[in-house]
Amino acid sequence: MKRIVAVLLVLALLVVAGVGVAAVILQVQRDDSDPAEQPTSQADEPDGGGTAAPAGSDEGARTPPDPALAPFYDQRLSWRDCDRHECATLTVPLDYADPAGETIELALLRVPAESDRIGSLVVNPGGPGAPGTEYAAAAAQVFGDRILRSYDVVGFDPRGTGGSAPVDCLTDAELDQFLAADPVPDDEAEQAALVDWSERLGEGCVERSGALARHVSTVEAARDMDVLRAALGEGDLDYFGASYGTKLGSTYADLFPDRVGRFVLDGALDPGMSSRELSLGQAEGFERALRAYVEDCLSDDDCFLGATVEEGLDRITGLMAEIDADPLPTNTDREVTVGTAFYGLVTPLYSRQSWFALTTALKEAFGGSGTTLLALADLYASRGEDGYTDNSAEAIYAINCLDDPFAVAPDQVDGELDDFRAASPTFGDVFAWGMTACAGAQVQAAEPPPEIDAPGAPPIVVIGTTRDPATPYEWAVALAEELESGVLVSRDGDGHTGYHSGNQCVDDAVESFLLDGTVPDDGLSC
């Protein structure tokens, strides 16, 4: 248990709530150091290489794209001591179409370079909904020593999240109920409850957040990033985005290609895919990760799950069915429902290093206790002993449904099940029903998302991991192709994202690019 707690403390720095009953989209960035992974080989026919121009300050850094935005681009940040780091706030317009109107404040956190500073590296951990300030505060666990020596690592809570005008949609008690609900309704009553939660979320975001609910889109967050770049005094933006942070980064690159510095997009999301395609891809990705976990268990002669992969998967799905019928007690006054158990099951699949925690949770659950499953589920939802530590479980709904309000009607889900079960016998039903999540959305985005290609941008490094559960490898391949200057780096491994995951080949490629401007060969395989 001490080891589990230690791992959870590390994961808690970087994990953000994801799917839930809403099953909107699961994206998480975390540190995953697996010393067993080593670089394998480079691509047979590399295409690319060279040196990227350095980012840095210039006289035009504060020139706004629209003169009406000049007051925001002229800001000077006032940094203050903040729990061993430095904090500041950035003012941005609530609505970029009305820069003279209401404003909001964005929370910033900076970890100054240790020596030989070359500039600022703006970072985002994904979600959407994860507080970027926490990601920056964990820089020592997320980034290598070379990065820490030379870059100010700057994290910001994107609008609507963390300390940046956080969107609010439900009370904590309602959020507990929402996350505990059955993600796969078994009867008409549960189906009605699922529809009701969708409506309550959509209505709640508007009632509890007002005009903000319409202004937390990825496009607006990307525009905020350019204001941040100017306030930092950087002529170009150096950026490291993980998971959903790759969507945020690629959106920025498309809107401001002439301001792109050294960009790394790790665990890539393909913005060109439909919501249905994304859901199918994630269903398949988590199935692949779960099978890898069971196969690893079977590498020992005494695997508790059975003698074959199929036996192991059957035992896990059987456990979920039992919890659905009879929730598990824990060492708290809360029980583990099938909704909670789903979170507890998928959370450790993000990292091979945390598979042992899944083993502990499953063994406990087979024995009648849901304590560790609950701990993993709470980590996933950013829930502490006294309530939620951030609003990520609500922000992911608000942002995703604003970016793409696509939804499937409940009576249409049956027609989707065959495809989803083919992609994932274990998780297919959850992801199929998850497509109903945005049916209750009440607002539309102020600005539609662009078609991503970032014409004229300098080289942008895109990293994909072959057995990434949350952002499947194929998405990184697609994003690298969609970006006019995309450069693909592939990591053969398990877990979510590739940098600082125990693969020296990937780490060297990323750090040489960020620090020296050396562009990896397109197609580098690690």
pLDDT tens per residue across span 281-313? 999 999 999 999 999 999 988 999 999 999 999
Six-digit token string for 520: 């990896």
Q: How far apart are CA 261 and CA 442, in angstroms?
A: 37
Whether the per-residue pLDDT at 43 is higher than 70: the answer is no
- pLDDT higher than 60, residue 10: no
Residues belonging to the active site? 243, 468, 496
| Amino acid of residue 252 | Y
**How many other β-carbons are positioned within 10 Å of the β-carbon of residue 8?**
19
CA distance 231 to 105: 13
Collect all residues with Cβ–Cβ distance below 8 Å to 360 and sequence separation of at least 6. Answer: 1, 4, 372
Q: Are 248 and 392 in contact (CB under 8 A)?
A: no
Residue 484, token pair as written in the block: 């006019």
- Over residues 42-49, the mean pLDDT reads 38
pLDDT at 206 over 60: yes
Long-range own/partner contacts, residues 408-413 (CB < 8 A, 24 or more apart) = 408/276, 408/432, 408/435, 408/436, 408/439, 409/436, 409/439, 410/185, 410/191, 410/194, 410/195, 410/436
End-to-end Cα, the chain, rounded Å: 34
Cβ distance 47 to 521 under 8 Å? yes
Percent of the chain with pLDDT over 70: 89
Q: What is the pLDDT of residue 307?
A: 95
Q: What is the pLDDT of residues 240-269, one digit of tens each?
A: 999 999 999 999 999 999 999 999 999 999
In the predicted model, what is the mean pLDDT of residues 232-240?
A: 96
| Cβ neighbours for 413, distance < 8 A, ≥ 6 positions apart | 432, 433, 435, 436
Take residue 416 and report the two structure tokens written for it.
């989707």
Q: For the chain, percent helix, then strand, then coil, each to nearest 5? A: 45, 15, 40
47 Rama sector, left if φ>0, alpha if ψ -120 to 50, beta otherwise: beta
Residue 143 DSSP one-character state: S
Residue 50 confidence (pLDDT): 55
Span 488-492, mean pLDDT?
Answer: 97
Per-residue pLDDT at 163: 96
- Domains belonging to the chain, first-starting first, are 47-166+216-271+449-525 (3.40.50.1820)
Average pLDDT for residues 427-438, to the nearest whole number?
95
* Predicted model pTM: 0.89
Burial (Cβ within 10 Å: 0-12, 13-18, ≥19) of residue 258: exposed
What pLDDT, on the 0 to 100 scale, is given for residue 42?
Answer: 36
Of the listed ranges 31-40, 321-330, 338-347, 502-511, the one predicted with least confidence: 31-40
The pLDDT, as a whole number, for residue 339 is 94
Beta strands 80-82 and 387-388 are unpaired
> So what's the pLDDT on residue 35?
33
